């Protein structure tokens, strides 16, 4: 395991979620689940984060915000879409202002299903994201070496 996998810092954003998934994300930080034992810190700052945990179906107003947060994160980075709204728009899919899932705005690496997603499945999703993060780190390193040569 590389140090990147041992120290994934997350940023959590609520892209027009009903708050159900957000409460479950925050529940992961409580003593019962304690994601800090994996070295995970909820940073609240895209420039420090490795994993973008996003909930909700993304509406027209926060499309720009989601894109902005994603662009501000330094490589390597992964996106974890938490809850069914983040995956497809869920029950809000047909709403006039919902874009229908996070992947309509930014590329998503891991989908965590559920309404609301349970803390166990969120932790499982983030741990899955760690291996993708490692792949991206190696790919980034190869690109850098390639650029030098």
Partner 1 sequence: MDLIHIIYGLSFIVFGPLIGGIIAGLDRKMTARMQGRVGPPVLQPFYDIIKLFSKEKIAVIYSESFWVLAYLIFIVITGMLFFAGGDLLLVIFALTLAHVFLILGAFASSSPYAHIGAERELIQLMAIEPMVILTAVGMYQVTGSFFVTDILSHAGLLVLVLPGVFVGFVYVLTFKLRKSPFDLATSHHAHQELVKGLTTEFSGPTLGMYELAHLYEIVMLLGFVYIFFGMVPAIGILAVIIVYFLEIFIDNATTRITWQPALISAWIVTLVFGGLNLVALYLL
- Chain residues binding partner 1 by CB under 8 A are 2-4, 6-7, 31, 34, 36-39, 41-45, 47-48, 50, 72, 74-76, 137, 140
Give the span between the Cα atoms of 29 and 31, in whole angstroms: 7
C-beta closer to partner 1: residue 93 or 106: 106
**Nearest approach, Cβ of 91 to partner 1 (angstroms)?**
29
**Nearest approach, Cβ of 126 to partner 1 (angstroms)?**
15
C-beta closer to partner 1: residue 118 or 137: 137
Nearest CA among 3, 37, 147, 16 for reference residue 86:
16
41-42 and 9-14 beta bridge pairing? parallel
Residue the block writes with tokens 């850098």: 144
**Nearest approach, Cβ of 93 to partner 1 (angstroms)?**
30
SS3 content of the chain, % helix, strand, coil (to 5): 45, 15, 40
C-beta closer to partner 1: residue 60 or 67: 67
């Amino acid at each position: 395991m590389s140090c990147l996998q041992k120290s994934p810092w997350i940023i959590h954003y609520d892209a027009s979620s009903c708050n159900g998934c957000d409460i479950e994300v925050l529940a992961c930080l409580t003593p019962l689940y304690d994601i800090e034992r994996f070295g995970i810190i909820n940073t609240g700052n895209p420039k420090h984060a490795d994993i973008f945990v996003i909930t909700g179906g993304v509406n027209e107003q926060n499309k720009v915000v989601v894109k902005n947060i994603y662009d501000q994160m330094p490589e390597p980075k992964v996106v974890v879409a938490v809850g069914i709204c983040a995956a497809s728009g869920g029950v809000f899919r047909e709403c006039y202002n919902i874009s229908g899932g996070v992947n309509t705005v930014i590329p998503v690496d891991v989908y965590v299903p559920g309404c609301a997603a349970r803390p166990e499945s969120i932790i499982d999703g983030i741990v899955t994201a760690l291996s993708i993060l490692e792949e991206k780190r190696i790919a980034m390193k190869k690109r850098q070496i390639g650029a030098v040569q």
